Structure 1
Amino acid sequence: MSESAGRSWQRMRSLVLESHDRRPRVVAELGMSFIRIKALRRVARGPLTMTELTEQLSTDKPYTTLVVDDLEERGLVERSVSPTDRRRKIVTITAAGLDVFATAERILNEPPAELLALEPGELAELDRILGKLAAGAADHGS
């Protein structure tokens, strides 16, 4: 690994995960744990089976059930029986869940002041580089 690549990675991680971690703010504003917000964000992409959600959250089935139970009690998701396999439950976001999801996305995607202070050319170059990195990660299944 080159020294420059290592330093760049450390700076990106520090910027996102330490200096500008939005998770505590979104947890406080929405009044629920980040794992619940993460589950809601996954289901907002489209209905998921409980098994798919468990895999995407990297949790175990009983914990996923507790998370979905809470989201369902809050009126943010609904569970239904799969039309193709009655043993499977499908989790779907509700209209209220979409509103909460939109709030979470607004908070989590708010750029830090340091990013907003960059010159337009610097932002364009950073966007180009990050797009290249994202495309490479997608190509490698990361």
Structure 2
Amino acid sequence: MPSGDDDEVAERVWARVRSLVLDRHERKREVCDALGMSFIKIKALRRVAARPLTMSELTEQLNTDRPYTTHVVDELVRRGLVLREQHPEDRRSRVVTVTPAGHDAAALANRILGEPPKAMLAMSSEDLAELDRLTELLVD
């Protein structure tokens, strides 16, 4: 059973992890600047680049409402990054697919977002292995 001290340590570690991801090495701003669009549009693009999605699926994955998802997709269509077409099996539904330009933009976003901070790249093999082991416990 964790003690009060364990709770304090967990809070301190969580604060450092949050700071590492959100404050010190904010890739969101970097990717938004590189692609010239908001992060929600980048998030939608990355989801659609992974696989075609219906508007309903995309709405659910983005955790937005339908009108906002429509606004996001309209902008991605306007930029030539995605296509919105009638679902082949359900005429009432629309499917969003990535274009070649959208695929390239999503790949750039993934590259930027996936780049580890320099401090992490400078860690020893042993420290990286330990961090890998510990973070695996958090995501399983």
Tell me the TM-score normalized by structure 2.
Answer: 0.91
Aligned CA RMSD, in angstroms, stands at 1.1
Alignment partners' CA distance in 1, 2:65 and 2:137: 34
Structure 1 counterpart of 2:48, from 43, 52, 60 = 43
How many angstroms apart in 1 are the aligned matches of 2:133 and 2:101?
36
* Residue identity in the other structure for 1:104: A
Partner of 1:100: 105
Identical aligned residues as a percent: 59
**1:27 has 2:13 as partner:** no
Alignment of 1:1-142 (within 5 A): 2-135=7-140
Letter in 1 for 2:79: R
Report the secondary structure of 2:21's partner residue.
helix
Report the 3-state secondary structure (helix = DSSP H, G, I; strand = E; otherwise coil) of the residue aligned with 2:83.
strand
> How high is the TM-score relative to the length of structure 1?
0.90
Q: Which residue of 1 aligns with 2:3?
A: none
Distance 1:51 1:7 in 2: 39
* Letter of the 1:11 counterpart: R
User: How many residue pairs align between the two structures?
Assistant: 135
Q: Which has the larger radius of gyration?
A: 2
